[in-house]
Amino acid sequence: MKAAKAEWFASWFDSPYYHQLYAHRDLTEAAAFIDALIARLDPAAGASMLDLGCGAGRHARRLATHGFDVTGLDLSADSIRQASTHADERLRFARHDMRVPFGFETFDYVLNLFTSFGYFDRAEDHLAVVRNIAAALKPGGALVLDYLNVRVAEAQLRPYETLDRDGVQYAISRRSDAAHIYKLITVADERSTAIAYEERVAKFGLEDFRLMLALYGLEIEAVYGDYAFRSFDARSSPRLIVVARKPHDRPRRESFCRMRLSVSGEIPRYEASIF
């Protein structure tokens, strides 16, 4: 029997090289974004929040300082070990695959930040995550999803660069095709032989998210283009930040939506028909 191929993120996010390469993503940067986000959302005191794909917990930690009840989930065991050193009565972390349900009407807010979506090979897996988010939100709760703006990211793609992190050399090449943006990271460490990792993100745009969210009853109420919360412009915004809400009363739907998502071999898109 042929062994199942390991998913790229499972090995890369648990690698010490991942944490070394991205060590510049500091707490100050995370704090500034979270503070601005909270000022804009104005959550109720003590609101329950889920940081889905929390990494080492820098955003979750800042949320907890605002007095919210915060849970952080991530697939990476190493990231969760790091994050858990900061756990307290308002802040907890657990290792979890976001494709597996994580609650029913449990959270006032679900945050999926810094492009922690779009990693999977199968369309069903992307949709499973959206379904799980919708199920985990309380009625009236909201999702904040922060994604790259594919159009700008692709236009500004740097084909090749090298970086030095404490004597470890990182050779990074980037490319894109019709469905994904790729980053190949080759690590040269004198303590071991060279090893290569790949990052891959689906080229989802605003309309893809609009349809994915609508399928599970989430309604977009705001779209921003950067961490200063300026309006989204597909031609120039560096980010695509979507705020979507779960209605208090989900109306009975007389129509059904059929959707098909392609994430390989052609531009990812939904084809939807209402009847």
Alpha helix stretches (DSSP H) within 42-149: 58-65, 77-84, 123-136
pLDDT of residue 27: 77
Distance CA 59, CA 5 (A): 31
Q: What is the pLDDT of residues 20-37, one digit of tens each?
A: 887 766 678 889 999 999
Tell me what the mean pLDDT of segment 232-245 comes to. Answer: 98
- In the predicted structure, residue 260 carries a pLDDT above the cut 70: no
Distance CA 202, CA 261 (A): 11
Distance CA 173, CA 161 (A): 7
Q: Which residues, at least 6 apart from 162, have a Cβ–Cβ distance to it below 8 Å?
A: 169, 170, 171, 172
Q: How confident is the model at residue 3 (pLDDT cuts 50, 70, 90)?
A: very low
Going from N- to C-terminal start, the domains of the chain cover: 8-150+202-274, 153-199
Q: Determine the topology of domain 8-150+202-274 in CATH.
A: Rossmann fold (3.40.50)
Q: How far is CA 246 from the centre of its chain?
A: 19
DSSP state letters, 162-212 = EEEETTEEEEEEEEE-SSEEEEEEEEE-TTS--EEEEEEEE---HHHHHHH
pLDDT of residue 10: 82
- The percent of residues above 70 in pLDDT, for the chain, comes to 88
Q: What is the pLDDT of residues 117-163, one digit of tens each?
A: 999 989 999 999 999 999 999 999 999 999 999 999 999 999 999 98
- In the predicted structure, residue 274 carries a pLDDT above the cut 50: no
Tell me what the mean pLDDT of segment 102-121 comes to. Answer: 96
Which structure tokens are listed for 131? 């379904």
Q: How many CB atoms lie within 10 A of CB 69?
A: 17
Q: Shortest CA distance to 75 belongs to which of 45, 98, 51?
A: 98
pLDDT of residue 30: 87
Q: How many CB atoms lie within 10 A of CB 174?
A: 18
Distance CA 257, CA 265 (A): 24
Q: What is the amino acid identity at position 77?
A: A
